[in-house]
Structure 1
Amino acid sequence: MAPSDPRTQSAKQILAPLNLTLSEQRIAVIGANGSGKSTLLRLLNGLVAPSTGSVHVLGHSTHTEAAAVRRSVGFVFTDPLSQLVMPTPQEDLELSLRRQKLGKAERRSKARAILASYGLEHLAASSIYELSGGERQLTALATVLAVDPQILVLDEPSTLLDLRNTKLLMRRLEGLPQQIIMSTHDLELTRDFDRVLVIEQGQLAFDGAPHLALAAYRKLVE
């Protein structure tokens, strides 16, 4: 697969053709800014389309079965304000739960229960803009997971978080049953993953165990 940037007709190649099967439970993607990490992740739920080749997720093509792919893949952006579209956490969760065709009262009750499970119930009616970075990121995660995707993709979710909130986020991810594919600049976060991909200038520079991938990446940087 080789992705094209939908915003431009330029022939610039963002990622070289890749042949990957991503089957491990926890996969991290690391690399410099502009290396192609985010583009790789966005290929996984059809936010970016490949210019050649194809991407299949759980047997569904992102080109011809985009709706099925997006039901299966939850995507968490670097900046939660990019995806929290309603004024409050409660309303955002209720909006997400509409996909489950629940009644209004049931959506309200379920949204409140989800927020409580994240320790956010007291913020249910707060403005999204009054929340801390960690609270926003947990709200975004809760909103994505509310509809039970099979795969969770996170694009540098700790970039805007301090150490305490980063640890809180990672603890939340540890107990999830979903397959997790996450890009990050925080190399420490990758140590407990099953597999790490190193992307360098649009190329897959390394693919393997975390300690080997980190060594390969540091060598590239040096």
Structure 2
Amino acid sequence: MPLIDAQNITYAPNGVPVLSDVTLVSDARRIGVVGRNGSGKTSFARVLAGLVAADKGQVRIAGARVAKDRKAALGAVGILFQNPDHQIIFPTVEEEIAFGLAQMGHAPAEVAQQVQAILGQFNKGHWARAAIHQLSQGQRQLVCLMSILAMRPQVILLDEPFAGLDIPTAMHLSRVLEGLEATLVHITHDPGMVRSYDHVLWLEGGAVMQQGRPQDVLQAFEARMVELGAADDLSDLAG
């Protein structure tokens, strides 16, 4: 079974079509998902993570049916959102990292040990009792990433993780991500972010326009973006 097995995904919350017959079946280690704002990229990431259930189709990550078996999903897939404040729920760093581990069923002593281990891996042991609201956005994004990595998922979804970060912070986070053994699925509107990846999926209007080798898909994507940018009708740029 492929590591990522998402077939014929259709998603229409409140009857509004967002994704239509989207399929991604891959064992690639680095996967890019490109598209304009409103193309369905973030919704696809949320379906892959099991945060929302598809109306039609099926999603399995590392064999787990992520929408139906949430405990198994925690060890299969994690998601790093664009805005860390959208996923942080606890006041201190150690509490935030501990939450997912506790949800997986680890004993309190084991949770504490793993929290210290992930903080130590990033030389951030002194952050344990730090108040998250006092951290910068880049630091909060790193807390979110440590929380995900502590659960050791096989797949990590990145939803525009560098948005709002200054250049040095973005470069540091990029180096951390590049060094991970986990499979990365990077959601972005910027083709430059995924040019060196193994596989790219292009979403347009909630449907797959093209997928395959990055050089082929990104060339077509960039040509389409130039075409839209040259258009006189601003309605073509909506979404």
Alignment of 1:62-211 (within 5 A): 62-98=66-102, 99=104, 101-104=106-109, 106-211=110-215
Matched residues, percent identical? 34
Q: CA RMSD in A?
A: 2.0
For residues 43 and 10 of structure 2, the distance between their equivalents in structure 1, rounded to whole angstroms, comes to: 7
Instruction: Choose from 19, 26, 29 the match for 2:30.
Output: 26
Which consecutive unaligned segments of at least 5 residues does structure 1 have? none
TM-aligned CA deviation for residue 63 of structure 1? 4.8
Secondary structure, counterpart of 1:19 in structure 2:
strand
Q: Which runs of structure 1 show a deviation greater than 4 angstroms over 4 or more consecutive aligned residues?
A: none
The range that moved more, 168-177 or 25-34, is 168-177
Which consecutive unaligned segments of at least 5 residues does structure 2 have? 1-7, 227-239
TM-aligned CA deviation for residue 162 of structure 1? 1.6
Q: Does 1:45 align with 2:52?
A: no
Aligned length: 218
Q: Which residue of 1 aligns with 2:232?
A: none
Do the aligned residues in 2 keep the contact of 1:118 with 1:138 (CA within 8 Å)?
Answer: no
Return the TM-score normalized by structure 1. 0.88
TM-aligned CA deviation for residue 64 of structure 1? 4.2
Amino acid at match of 2:108: G
Do the aligned residues in 2 keep the contact of 1:35 with 1:199 (CA within 8 Å)?
Answer: yes
TM-aligned CA deviation for residue 124 of structure 1? 2.5
TM-aligned CA deviation for residue 101 of structure 1? 1.8
TM-aligned CA deviation for residue 21 of structure 1? 0.6
1:98-122 Cα offsets, whole Å, 9 max, x none, are: 2352334x53343233223223333
Q: Does 1:4 align with 2:11?
A: yes
- Larger strand share, 1 or 2: 2
Do the aligned residues in 1 keep the contact of 2:30 with 2:199 (CA within 8 Å)?
Answer: yes
The range that moved more, 27-36 or 50-59, is 50-59
For residues 23 and 97 of structure 2, the distance between their equivalents in structure 1, rounded to whole angstroms, comes to: 36
Q: Does 1:57 align with 2:58?
A: no
